[in-house]
Chain A
Amino acid sequence: MDWGSILSNTAQSLFSPATMAFALAALGLAVHFGFAGLLNMGIAGFMAVGAYGYAISILTFGFPWWGAALVGIGASIILAILMGVPTLRLRGDYLAIVTIAGAEILRLLFLTTANQEITGSADGLFGYHASFRAANPFPEGTYGFGPWTYNEVEFWVLILGLILLGLAVLFVWRLINSPWGRVIKGIREDEDAVRALGKNVFSYKMQALIIGGVIAAIGGIVYALPSAVNPNVYVTSLTFFVWTALLLGGAATVFGPLLGAVIFWVLQAFLSNVLPALVSSGIMPFVSSAQAATLRFVLVGVGLVLLVVFRPQGILGDKREMTFVK
């Protein structure tokens, strides 16, 4: 078993675009659920809208990369409004069902062959990197050390992703510790009480939905930046993984989603390297390597159940904060 490459691959995933995208999505979901109490089961849809908005703007409309990013963000705002209007007056589990349905409708619209010209349907979108790469401020060369070595393009993506993540964290932290955050925390616990104090509860929930949606869409864009946009990525399982990461770290905290996302992703990378290696080196003879890969997802499901039952506040959460306000 080549522990060297297993550990090196795992270490690399710490700063990969996927991890950063995941952290952003988890942060967005924290605004939705951790702070505002909105059961958004369609967070994958927001990531998809960001990524597709970005890629389509470049490929079909010829926007520069930063304009395309703004379009992706704008699209997520529209999605939040579309989803929010019918559902923000409904009870929690109704919102969950509607958001899953909404995200799935989106995915089907992206997948259909009728839209092939624009969305690439099942093949997805790729080859939109020119403008982004042209804007790279880092000259050619290698950066970093050890398992974290990047060429100038990868480095550009990394730095940009980290900056965006940092800005998002600052933004959310400021919000939560302000009077606005106070109102949101009140709404999460008891809408009627806050309504009786003169606050427009619907407007606040919508704002939370939009903010969380924009952050998740930025996550989608970061994910798409160096690679491709594929509809099979933005499935409901992705939403459930983001939820797991969020609950793991601590839903009602600012750094919890980051911690949860990093642990989740690093663990996934570790398992996806270790399990096939265990199989091929004969330590787990009763499974094939394809089966070994599915084992990690089984562990995610089991982990989510254990987390919700035994430690719903996650790693960083405060038990008194009652993550699941009944």
Chain B
Amino acid sequence: MSSSSQKPQSVEKTTGLHIGEIEPGVKKVDPIVTIDKVHRQFGGLTAVDVDHLEIPRGVITALIGPNGAGKTTLFNLLTGFDKPDSGEWTYDGENIAGVPAFKLAQRGQVRTFQLTKALGLLTVLDNMKLGSKHQRGERLFPSLLPFLWKGQDDEIAEKAMKLLKKFKLDAKKDDFAASLSGGQRKLLEMARALMSDPELVMLDEPMAGVNPALTQSLLDHILDLKKDGMTVLFVEHDMHMVSHIADWVVVLAEGRVVAEGPPDVVMKNPAVIDAYLGAHQEIDLGVVTGRYDEASK
């Protein structure tokens, strides 16, 4: 794929995702997830208080907002890692409030974590194999008889190797994941998430702690997800990345949706600028502080 020296993929944004006026809670043409009156409180602190939100299918949606806005909490609620105090949401039209996390993952919803959870005690290849669904060998009694699952396991290994090649991790297949660098572990987590052919990929701060060289590579991988027909929802702070690849942006602050819409619209929203973006988002910080001027960039 591309490295930092090549030009990034030109990105075509998908438009026409919404029905009606652009405002928080606007309906979508083809929502994959809808959220209704979800409320989550920790002690006296309201973490999430979303009235209505719809995530459009087949495109890349970014969830942004200041720290403590409730983004990860919302993620946890949607993926079954936390229970709300009230509210419901649907996935593909089915009500999934209260469904445990592992069942949601089986239905085509995968997520990654802010602090990467590459399983360090397993090899890279084993990590990948773990991501695959419906494995005969994972059930207790069949696992005792290798002839029952060996064939399927080999198929899974093949698929894993294809993905690993794509993410440039194939040479490390027999290394323990703990020996990978932080960036490589992020790639592994993403590759592993793709083993189950998911419909909805939820990435919690995929760029956190990633060096700039790797950022481009990750961006391209995320764009590939959209190309392959998956829906992506990700949390990020890097506004350049968001404006580069997101088709839709949702802004959370203090647990509520304060704005949503296409990136260019949202980033011009004065309330969003004041609360979160800062006035000089589109300009390099070095130029703003006067260390070098725009022309020489």
The answer to whether A and B assemble together is yes
A interface with B by C-beta (< 8 Å): 171, 174-175, 178-183, 185-186, 188-190, 192-201, 207, 211, 320-322, 325
Q: Please name 9 pairs of A and B residues whose Cβ atoms are closer than 8 Å in the assembled complex, sorted by A.
A: A180-B137, A183-B138, A186-B119, A189-B120, A190-B119, A193-B117, A193-B119, A196-B101, A197-B192
Closest CB of chain A to B65's CB: distance in Å? 22
- Give the distance in Å from the alpha carbon of A171 to the alpha carbon of B140 in the complex: 11
Q: Are B122 and A185 in contact (CB under 8 A)?
A: yes
With A189-B121, A197-B196, A199-B138 known to touch, is A178 a contact of B144 (CB < 8 Å)? yes
Which residues does chain A contribute within 8 Å of B136, judged by CB atoms? 179
Contact A196 B144 (CB under 8 A): no
Please, which residues of chain A bring their CB within 8 A of the CB of B143?
174-175, 178-181
Report the minimal beta-carbon distance from B104 to chain A, rounded to whole angstroms: 8
**Complex contact B126–A195 (CB within 8 A):** no
A195 touches B119 (CB 8 A): no
Is the Cβ of B101 less than 8 Å from the Cβ of A207?
A: no
Decide: B196 and A198 in contact? CB cutoff 8 A: yes
User: How far apart sit A213 and B89, CA to CA, in the bound complex (Å)?
Assistant: 40
**How far, in whole Å, are A24 and B122 apart by their CA atoms in the complex?**
27
| Among B101, B113, B131, B178: residue with most chain A CB under 10 A | B101
Question: CB-CB < 8 A to A207: which residues of B?
Answer: 140
Is the pair A195, B101 in contact by a Cβ cutoff of 8 Å? yes
Do A325 and B140 contact each other (CB < 8 Å), given the known contacts A179-B129, A179-B149, A196-B101?
no
| Number of residue pairs spanning A and B whose beta carbons lie under 8 angstroms apart | 96
Which residue of the partner chain A has the closest CB to B189? Answer: A193
Q: Is the CB of A182 within 8 A of B105?
A: no
**Interface set of B (CB-CB < 8 Å, partner A):** 79, 81, 101-103, 105-106, 110-113, 117-122, 126, 129-131, 133, 135-140, 143-144, 146, 149, 153, 176, 178, 192-193, 196
Flag if B138 contacts A197 (CB, 8 Å): no
Query: CA–CA, A196 to B103, complex, Å?
Result: 9
CB distance from A244 to the nearest CB of B (A): 23
| Residues in A whose Cβ lies below 8 Å from that of B144 | 171, 174-175, 178
CB distance from B284 to the nearest CB of A (A): 37
List of B residues within 8 angstroms of A190 by Cβ: 117, 119
Least distance between B89 CB and chain A CB atoms (Å): 18
* Given contact pairs A179-B138, A179-B143, A196-B79, a sample of 4 additional A-B residue pairs in the complex whose CB atoms are under 8 Å apart: A190-B117, A193-B118, A196-B117, A321-B121
Inter-chain contact A185/B113, CB cutoff 8 Å = no
Separation of A197 and B129 alpha carbons in the complex (Å): 11
For residue A239, give the distance in angstroms from its CB to the closest CB of chain B: 26
Known pairs A179-B149, A182-B129; A198 contacts B102 (CB<8 A) = yes
Provide the residues of chain B in CB contact with A188, threshold 8 Å.
121
Q: Which of A179, A181, A322 contacts B153 (CB 8 A)?
A: A179
* B176 partner residues in chain A, CB cutoff 8 A: 320
B137 touches A179 (CB 8 A): yes
Bound complex: CA of A150 vs CA of B251, how far in Å?
79
CA–CA, A188 and B106, complex, Å:
21
Q: Is the Cβ of B102 less than 8 Å from the Cβ of A195?
A: yes
Task: Flag if A196 contacts B149 (CB, 8 Å).
Answer: no
B129 touches A178 (CB 8 A): no
Contact of B81 among A192, A198, A321 (CB under 8 A): A192
* With contact pairs A178-B143, A181-B143 given, residues A195 and B135 touching in the complex (Cβ less than 8 Å): no
Contacts of A181 in B (CB 8 A): 143
CB-CB under 8 A from A182, the residues of chain B are 122, 126, 129-130, 138
